[in-house]
Amino acid sequence: MSGFDDSRLGISGRVLARAHDEGRSALVTYLPVGYPAVEDSLRAFEALTDAGADLVEIGLPYSDPVLDGTVIQHATTKALRRGVRTRDAFRAAEVVAGAGGTALVMTYWNLIEQYGPERFARDLRDAGGAGVITPDLTPDEAEEWVAATDDTGLDRVFLIAPSSGDERIRMTMAACRGWVYATSVMGVTGTRSATSSAAPVIAHRARALDPGLPIGIGLGVSNADQAAEVAGYADAVIVGSALVGCLDSDGADLEHDLGRLRGLVGDLADGVRRGHA
C-alpha cells in the first residue's frame, strides 16, 4: 500500500494513492473553463479524462491572475471577454464526473469570497467536484474556507514553494486534505525547456517533513520526458500551459485541437508511467 495517511487523503488524494499502488505517478491536467468558449472547454475537459488524466484541474478565470504565465493569462482573458461565469466551473465538474474522472477547481480566493465560501463548496460538491486548489490562500488565513470544506467534505489543496521554510511546509501540509501542490520554480506558470532543479529539493523536503500526504509538482512540465523526470520524485505531475497551447483561441477547428490535446495527454500519461521511481 501507499503508506499515506488515509484519513487525510480525501477523494483526490486517494486517486494519487491508487496510482502509487499501481507503481506510477499520477497525471494532473489543467485547463481554464470558458476557453476558447464555454461549450468548447466542456468538450476539452471530457477529452482530458478520456485520454488518461488522473485528476482534472478546472481553472476559474480571474481578472488578476498573479500566478499565471502568459499562455494561461491569454486564455483566461479570452474566456472572461466571452462571458465565462463561476457557475461554468460547476458545469465542467459535472462533465468530468460524468466521464468517470475526478475534478478539482483551481481558483483565486477572491472569486470564492464573492460567490460565498459555503455556497461555493456546496455547489461544487453537488456538481461532483472533489475539491479546490487555492493558489493565493494560505492556511493561516483560511479559517472560513476550512469550515466550508469540512462541512462539505471537499478536498482543499494549498501550495508550498522552494522558498517555504520547514515550519511553513508542515503547517501547510497539515491544513491540506487530498494532497499538497508544490511549485517547482519561483515565478509564474508556463512551459519550460527543462524542469527546475528546485523541484526534487522541494519534493524531498516536503516528504521528509510530512510523509502522510501525496505531493504534486507543477509549473514547467510540457512534454513526456519532463513528465517522466518529475515522476521520479513526485506523486503527481501537473501540466497546464502545454495543454492550453493545444487549443486555438478562436476555436475554428476544435476537432483538430481536441485531437492534439488527447495526443499530448496520452504522451504525458506514458511519461509519468515510464518515470516512476
pTM of the full predicted structure?
Answer: 0.93
Amino acid, single-letter form, for residue 183: T
* Beta-carbon contacts of residue 260 (< 8 Å; ≥ 6 apart): 246
Low-confidence ranges of the chain (pLDDT < 70): 1, 65-67, 185-196, 275-277
> What are 24-70's pLDDT values in tens digits?
999 999 999 999 999 999 999 999 999 999 999 999 999 876 667 78
Catalytic positions: 57, 68
State the pLDDT at residue 186: 42
Dihedral-angle region of residue 190 (phi above 0 means left; psi in -120 to 50 means alpha; beta otherwise): left
Taking the CA atoms of 209, 5, 181 and 228 in sequence, report the sign of the dihedral they define. positive
Helices within 160-223 (DSSP H only): 166-175, 198-209
Cell of 106: 483551481
